[in-house]
């Protein structure tokens, strides 16, 4: 689990995150007590809150004051970003038939698919309404990110159980389903925080490349982690026909390609899932994937080079530099 508070070295960051949490819960409250319960379910389960944290810190990139705080409008923007992410989780759990999420029972498992879908739609509606309160530019940014997220998810679904999935197709999908919202989180933060507009494209680029590394990180963990740390049986993506970067790279290795390919193209039982996972691990593709993730981290940090040096910038660099810590043995990086 990424501990954001440990790498964001800003005196008021924890207080800003506390204010975000209050605003996030208030944003979905409704006169209907049942809708309240469903909409608050995943919010109250917690989470890393990485995306709204990016909004909060990005808003401070134009401030030379170490003890600056996020404004109310910035927190509002952060809420709109997190609601899109939460809505995507409600919908993902329906598609995946997930039973748990963030160590609690998933919404679809507790109340059924219809309630989960409608609740996810409700969160999207609230996100749009909240973003619109900040002006048409913010609303447009969030709508565009949602479109990219949906396109990325559709691309992934369309590639399910296809062993010939290319690296390019994989990167296009994760650019949409993960990186686009992180880029937008940074864009909205820097825009609402009135950071000099000449720096906003590079700040947005930082968020996108961080998002690419983050998704590769998750895909590595699905293969290389254990049940205790992951909270599910490793290799679940393999079993469900979602062939991520480590699997794609293994399928390009003549030594391991045929042994793995014969298992793929269909759902896997637990024994076949373990066998496929072990082949991927043996191939060295996890280490290759880690190196690719590191390249995206390097790109994200380089994007910020044009931004003036502030405590907020150092915090974003620290966040990127620590993202891959502990993902595979001996992978701890040095904070910048």
The interaxial angle of helices 136-158 and 113-132, nearest 10 deg, is: 150
List Cβ neighbours of 146 (8 Å cut-off, separation of 6 or more).
Answer: 84, 124
Residue 330 within any structural domain of the chain: no
CB contact at 8 A, 8 and 322: no
How far apart CA 197 and CA 190 sit, in angstroms, is 8
Structural domain of 57: 4-322
3-class SS of residue 14:
helix
Alpha-carbon distance of 173 to 151, in angstroms, equals: 8
Residue among 92, 121, 125 nearest 106 (CA): 92
pLDDT at 5: 85
In a domain, 329, yes or no: no
Query: Which pLDDT score is estimated for 329?
Result: 59
Give domain status of residue 332, yes or no.
no
What pLDDT was estimated at residue 301?
A: 98
- The pLDDT assigned to 83 comes to 97
CB 58 within 8 A of CB 71: no
In a domain, 328, yes or no: no
- Name the packing angle between helices 136-158 and 180-192 (round to 10°): 170
**Positive or negative CA dihedral for 151, 152, 153, 157?**
positive
CATH at residue 42: 1.10.600.10
Residue 105: strand pairing partners: 100
Nearest to 188 by CA among 57, 92, 44: 57
Query: Considering its fold, how many domains does the chain have in total?
Result: 1
Query: Does the residue 180 lie in any domain?
Result: yes
Does some domain include residue 195? yes
Radius of gyration of the chain (CA): 20
Identify whether 210 is part of a domain: yes
pLDDT tens-place values along the chain, 336 residues long: 678 988 998 999 999 999 999 999 999 998 888 888 888 888 888 788 999 999 999 999 998 888 899 999 999 999 999 999 999 988 887 877 766 666 677 878 877 888 889 989 999 999 999 999 999 999 999 999 999 999 999 999 999 999 999 999 999 999 999 999 999 999 999 999 999 999 999 999 999 999 999 999 999 999 998 655 655 667 889 999 999 999 999 999 999 999 999 999 999 999 999 999 999 999 999 999 999 999 999 999 999 999 999 999 999 999 999 999 988 755 444 332
272 token code pair: 């076949």
Residue 335 lies in a domain: no
């Amino acid at each position: 689990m990424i501990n954001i508070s440990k790498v964001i070295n800003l005196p008021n960051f924890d207080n800003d995150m506390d204010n975000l949490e209050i605003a996030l819960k208030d944003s979905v409250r409704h006169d209907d007590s049942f809708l309240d319960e469903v909409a608050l379910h995943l919010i109250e389960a917690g989470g890393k809150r990485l995306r709204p944290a990016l909004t909060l810190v990005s808003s401070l990139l134009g401030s030379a004051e170490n003890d600056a705080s996020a404004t109310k409008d910035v927190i509002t923007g952060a809420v709109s970003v997190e609601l899109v992410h939460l809505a995507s989780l409600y919908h993902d759990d329906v598609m995946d038939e997930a039973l748990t999420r963030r160590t609690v029972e998933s919404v679809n498992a507790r109340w059924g698919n219809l309630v989960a879908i409608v609740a996810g739609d409700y969160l999207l509606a609230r996100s749009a309404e909240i973003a619109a309160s900040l002006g048409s530019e913010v609303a447009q940014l969030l709508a565009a990110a949602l479109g990219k997220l949906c396109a990325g998810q559709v691309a992934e679904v369309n590639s399910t159980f296809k062993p010939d999935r290319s690296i390019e197709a994989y990167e296009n999908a994760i650019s949409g389903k993960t990186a686009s919202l992180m880029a937008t989180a940074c864009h909205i933060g820097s825009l609402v925080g009135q950071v000099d507009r000449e720096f906003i494209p590079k700040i947005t680029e930082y968020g996108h490349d961080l998002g690419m590394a983050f998704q590769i990180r998750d895909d590595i963990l699905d293969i290389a982690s254990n049940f205790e740390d992951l909270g599910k049986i490793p290799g679940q993506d393999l079993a469900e026909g979602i062939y991520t970067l480590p699997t794609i790279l293994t399928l390009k290795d003549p030594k391991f390609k045929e042994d793995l390919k014969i298992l793929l193209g269909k759902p896997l039982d637990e024994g076949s899932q373990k066998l496929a996972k072990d082949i991927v691990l043996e191939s060295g593709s996890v280490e290759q994937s880690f190196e690719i993730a590191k390249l995206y981290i390097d790109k994200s940090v380089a994007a910020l080079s044009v931004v003036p040096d502030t405590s907020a910038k150092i915090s974003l660099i620290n966040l990127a530099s620590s993202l891959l810590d502990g993902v595979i043995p001996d992978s701890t990086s040095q904070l910048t």
